[in-house]
Amino acid sequence: MCTGSGAIAISLAKNFENDDVEIFASDISEETLNVARFNSNKNKVKVNFILSDLFENIDGKFDVIVSNPPYIETDVINELDLDVQNEPHLALDGGKDGLDFYRKIGKQAKKNLNKNGILFLEIGYNQKSDVSEILENNGYKNIICLQDFGGNDRVLIANF
């Protein structure tokens, strides 16, 4: 979900290429999906790409859903390094409080997760409590947080 360049989906495909695992990657932007397709071909892995606004065009159930959604607060984007500001705002802007996509994904992912399915969400360094609360309010359990190499909270993992 929100695959962008496809880095996460491609990494998963490479790590599970000898297993019976099917990888799907979605994004709202066809242009972005074209970049992800190029990267997938360059890395010689099979990823199924879907043009979708979050779960709009997603059918079926999954054991795992991974997302790196836009999570930067709208007012903060213009304060970021120029390199980051050059990224498409669509890929950065998480709404006024940076949590818009977590609210949507937390609510919508449930219908596409198998029983005991796992949701992985990349988060901003200061969003652990807020996103954990969103997940708890939507019935997710066993929420844990992983930190990045800099010691910042970076990924929430939750079961449904």
Q: What is the pLDDT of residues 4-16, one digit of tens each?
A: 999 999 999 999 9
The pLDDT of residue 85 is above 80: no
62-67 and 153-159 strand pairing: unpaired
Could you tell me the pLDDT band of residue 88, with boundaries at 50, 70 and 90? confident
Q: Does position 84 have pLDDT exceeding 90, yes or no?
A: no
Q: What percent of the chain has pLDDT over 70?
A: 100
Domain boundary (42, 59, 76) is at 59
Same domain for 53 and 85: no
What is the tally of structural domains in the chain? 2
The predicted model gives 135-153 an average pLDDT of 97
- Quickly state the pLDDT bin for 96 (edges 50, 70, 90): very high
Instruction: For residues 38 and 85, state if they share a domain.
Output: no
103: helix, strand or coil: helix
Whether residues 46 and 66 fall in one domain: no
Average pLDDT over residues 64-82: 93
103, 71, 141, 5: CA torsion to nearest 10:
110
Mean pLDDT to the nearest integer, 51-79: 95
Q: In the numeric block, which tokens belong to residue 26? A: 């979605």
CATH number, domain containing residue 34: 3.40.50.150
Residues 94 and 150 grouped into a single domain: yes
Please give the structure tokens belonging to residue 13.
Answer: 């495909």
| pTM of the predicted structure, to 2 decimals | 0.94
Is 148 found in the same domain as 77? yes
Q: Same domain for 65 and 55? A: no
Out of 59, 78, 94, a domain closes at: 59
Check: CB of residue 4 under 8 Å from CB of residue 49.
Answer: no
In the predicted structure, residue 30 carries a pLDDT above the cut 90: yes
Distance CA 130, CA 148 (A): 18
d(CA 57, CA 68): 18
Give the helix/strand (H/E) hosting 82.
helix 82-85
103 touches 96 (CB < 8 A) = no
On whether both 46 and 106 belong to a single domain, the answer is: no
Q: Given 59, 77, 94, which residue is the final one in a domain? A: 59
Residues 24 and 92 in one domain: no
Domain membership of residue 46 as a residue range: 1-59
